[in-house]
Amino acid sequence: MMPNEELTLLPFDLKWVKGNFDADAFGDFDLHFNKFYVDTKLSKMLYVNGKVIGYVMVKPLSMGRIIKDILYWVKHKKYSDFSLFVSPDSIRSYSKKQGIFINSIYIMPQYRHQSYSDKLTEYCRQLGDYTWGISRKIIFEKYWGPKQHQIRTVEYNDGEEVNVIFADQR
Ligand SMILES: CC(C)(COP(=O)(O)OP(=O)(O)OC[C@H]1O[C@@H](n2cnc3c(N)ncnc32)[C@H](O)[C@@H]1OP(=O)(O)O)[C@@H](O)C(=O)NCCC(=O)NCCS
């Protein structure tokens, strides 16, 4: 981030997100933009000096709910290599708290590596008791793990890649 830069969060702009959608990072747009997983009122665009450079799609949602779904698919052999990195009690303890699911976070390529995404993750953090997300293992290890004090809760292979479910430690 440069000095004198003004970072602002403004209402979600679906048209922009669709037009700039990074299918390599996120896969199918319709799968991501699903009412069950996105709250368009809470989701935000990030502006720097009046220019949009990224966004976050977010929704209040329990992490335990999704872990249950994943266990179902593990049982039915659609997902494999399932590992739990925390105790079941620790997962259960999250169910008493308000979880904020970070569906997707995006910064335009020319603005990356300058910590602009911190503004989006900080915003998400103050929406509930904890934030959580699902990410490809490489992104977890390079981005989420070191930067956000996130812990790995579950890892599974969806048949294409290994995914990590992570949550913050509060
Ligand atoms: C992930 C993303 C939002 C990070 O935004 P950012 O503002 O550049 O983040 P930061 O500056 O705080 O951190 C960047 C660090 O994350 C890591 N990182 C980010 N994206 C990465 C990627 N695609 N591959 C590997 N490492 C990545 C790097 O280690 C980098 O550290 P560095 O600056 O020392 O090189 C941005 O890279 C992006 O939009 N990527 C494409 C979409 C995506 O993958 N989103 C996350 C899906 S869970």
Model confidence over 70-121: pLDDT tens digits? 999 999 999 999 999 999 999 989 989 999 999 999 999 999 999 999 999 9
Q: How much is the pLDDT for 5?
A: 85
Q: Is residue 117 part of a domain?
A: yes
Going by C-alpha positions, the residue among 58, 63, 11 that lies closest to residue 38 is: 58
143 CA to centre of ligand 1 in angstroms:
6
Q: Is residue 106 part of a domain?
A: yes
Which residue shows structure tokens 């509930």? Answer: 128
Rounded distance between C-alpha atoms, residue 115 and residue 119, angstroms: 8
How many domains, the chain?
Answer: 1
**Token pair for 126:** 């103050």
User: 66: part of which helix (H) or strand (E)?
Assistant: helix 63-75
Ligand 1: residue whose CA is nearest its atom 22: 139
The answer, as to whether pTM is greater than 0.75, is: yes
Say if CB 102 and CB 121 are below 8 A apart: yes
Report pLDDT for 27: 87
129 band by pLDDT with thresholds 50, 70 and 90: very high
CA separation (Å) from 47 to 10, 100, 132? Answer: 7, 22, 23
Residue reference for tokens 């602002």: 8
Whether 142 lines ligand 1, by a CB cut-off of 6 Å, is: yes
Is the residue at 155 inside a domain?
A: yes
- Residue 118 beta carbon below 6 angstroms from any ligand 1 atom: yes
The position carrying tokens 């603005």 is 111
Q: What is the pLDDT of residues 39-70, one digit of tens each?
A: 999 999 999 999 999 999 999 999 999 999 99
Least confident of 10-24, 36-50, 75-89, 145-159: 145-159
Q: What is the extent of the structural domain holding 125?
A: 7-168
75 lies in a domain? yes
| Residue nearest to ligand 1 atom 16, measured at CA | 143
